[in-house]
Amino acid sequence: MVKKEKQSKLQTGVIIYFTLIGIWLISWLVVGDANWFLTLLNRIVPFLFIPAPVLLVWVAFVRRLKLIIPLMVPVFIFASLYHPYLFPKLTKPTTEDPELKIMTYNVLFSNSNYEAVAGVILDYLPDLVALQEVQPEMMNELIVRLHDEYPYHLMGTTNDYGTTAVFSKHSLIEFYVLDLQADRPAVVVRTKVNNKEITFVAVHLLAYNLWWTKLPDIPEVVMQRTASQNRQARIVIDEISKEHGIVIVGCDCNSYETTSSYRIFGKFMNNAARQTGWFLSESELPGTQQDRYLQHIDYVWYDGYVTAKSVYKIQDNGGSDHFPVLAIFDMK
């Protein structure tokens, strides 16, 4: 009798979990971030699937094999959402095309370890660097330390918590600061690499920072900041949609792959980490890991005649609270 009661509770738990995952999936596909609760839920999606393997082991242990079928549905949903980071490719295609190296790096507004930040950049020598949370003092120090390799640069309008900036090895054809109608602007530059014109943008979307928000204010604040993120993303997309060549965006987007601002970017651009996925046979650059984290907020987006070859997360953060992301492209 006790055994049957436990089995009945297990079956009820599986059905409830299966139903809740189904409700979330439909809501995410249809409604998205339309209300504050779903917005917060969509920011923790990988954790919603933790019960699935636990329940599968339990079901297998008690030999309730019929319950495996409903539990495989959330497993399939999880795999479809994150498959580039879960399933390795055995071999990596090689080409003779020239390489283009891009870095995006949130240096942390309070970071004064200028030598370490410059060292990270100089260790990997990307062609173009998008920085976020740069203070004027850091910008001045980096200009001095990076001058030999990166004589071209532009910083956005200042902000108490730092702003965006770009460093380039290559001379700039055009450059300007783009107002995103929020606390930080974007920095846009155009240059040529291997005789191909590239538009490069450094972006930092508004953060939620809910730990500074009073509980009763959370619903309103979440919706305001989601609307701000989406507006910023649309401004960037509207701006770069004027371009016909290669366009690359280095972004601290403060949003995950299941959020609405990600969808705005993803509708028009490719996420380099998702496109490259995980290569089992790849020998990684020293001091890096392939960027397979399920909860990204730092992205290299791209469009045009380049192909993402590898994306790495550099393990030396130079005193920041973010790890720099290095994307390597083949230029067709």
SS (H, E, C) 99-137: EEEEEEEECCCCCCCHHHHHHHHHHHCCCEEEEEEECHH
Q: How does pLDDT run across 2-37, given as a tens digit for each residue?
A: 455 666 778 888 899 999 999 999 999 999 998 999
What is the spatial distance between Cα 239 and Cα 242, in angstroms, rounded to a whole number?
Answer: 6
Q: How does pLDDT run across 225-276, given as a tens digit for each residue?
A: 999 999 999 999 999 998 888 999 999 999 999 999 999 999 999 999 999 9
Q: How does pLDDT run across 120-146, given as a tens digit for each residue?
A: 999 999 999 999 999 999 999 999 999
Q: How far apart are the first and last CA of the chain?
A: 68
pLDDT attached to residue 62: 78
